A and B are shown apart, each in its own frame.
Chain A
Amino acid sequence: AQTVTQSQPEMSVQEAETVTLSCTYDTSESDYYLFWYKQPPSRQMILVIRQEAYKQQNATENRFSVNFQKAAKSFSLKISDSQLGDAAMYFCAYRSFGSGNTGKLIFGQGTTLQVKP
């Protein structure tokens, strides 16, 4: 069974600085997706970024980028130029890819990010 681990329950960053959130996962599959979701106090789950395992290039979305290390099973999220609106809980998630898969997402425990003005 696949597992996702976020070892940092809480992180803080100064506004305009850069912060990296860690995520490791365990799987025997070769094809899968990895996601970072943001959950602000409103509780809405917002997709931040996604990575397909077959792609070697790290995904980037504006100020958000990932460091995907497939062999190490590591998927960290880097937030550049942090803004007050980035304060939220961040979840790393895994999804299998392949015929018949149900799309089940496996979530890590979450990391609460505080942004200090």
Chain B
Amino acid sequence: NAGVTQTPKFQVLKTGQSMTLQCAQDMNHEYMSWYRQDPGMGLRLIHYSVGAGITDQGEVPNGYNVSRSTTEDFPLRLLSAAPSQTSVYFCASRGRGWKQGTQYFGPGTRLTVL
């Protein structure tokens, strides 16, 4: 299993540009999430999904969109990039049920918005 994969690893955008961060998992996990990590802070939840076709907002959703058309993929879209979105983005997934409590993280995407 590849686990959770993210692309790209690095990205530089100009203010106002749009882009999609890709996330995929091959563990048949129902739950997938996007977090951002800023200096001196822990990870904060942007959006999450509890299954294909179901998404909801997390703690810091503004400026981001998500969709979940398949169990495997959970892309994060930046509609109009802003410097405040410069951050490291992590995708995570976990299985259903209390025995599947552990979230597995992708390697992260470092995004810089100029």
Binding site for B on A (CB under 8 A): 4, 33, 35, 37, 42-45, 47, 50, 52, 91, 93, 95, 97, 102-105, 107-110
Inter-chain CA distance A101–B9, complex, in Å, is 30
Chain B: which residue is nearest A109 at the CB level? B42
Binding site for A on B (CB under 8 A): 31, 33, 35, 40-45, 48, 50, 56, 58, 88, 90, 92, 94, 98, 101-105, 107-108, 110
Inter-chain CA distance A47–B4, complex, in Å, is 14
Inter-chain CA distance A56–B36, complex, in Å, is 33
Chain B: which residue is nearest A4 at the CB level? B42
Inter-chain CA distance A84–B44, complex, in Å, is 29
Known: A43-B108, A95-B101, A103-B33. A108 touches B48 (CB 8 A): no
Q: Find A104's partner among B33, B98, B107 (CB 8 Å cutoff).
A: B33
A7 to chain B, nearest CB (A): 13
- Judge whether A45 and B42 touch: CB under 8 Å: no
- Judge whether B58 and A104 touch: CB under 8 Å: yes
Inter-chain CA distance A44–B92, complex, in Å, is 11
Known: A97-B98, A103-B94. A109 touches B56 (CB 8 A): no
Chain A: which residue is nearest B98 at the CB level? A97
Inter-chain CA distance A45–B103, complex, in Å, is 10
Could you say which residues of chain B place their CB within 8 Å of the CB of A45?
A: 43, 90, 92, 105, 108
A54 to chain B, nearest CB (A): 10
Could you say which residues of chain B place their CB within 8 Å of the CB of A108?
A: 42
Could you say which residues of chain B place their CB within 8 Å of the CB of A33?
A: 101
Q: Find B43's partner among A42, A52, A105 (CB 8 Å cutoff).
A: A105
A111 to chain B, nearest CB (A): 11
Inter-chain CA distance A95–B90, complex, in Å, is 17
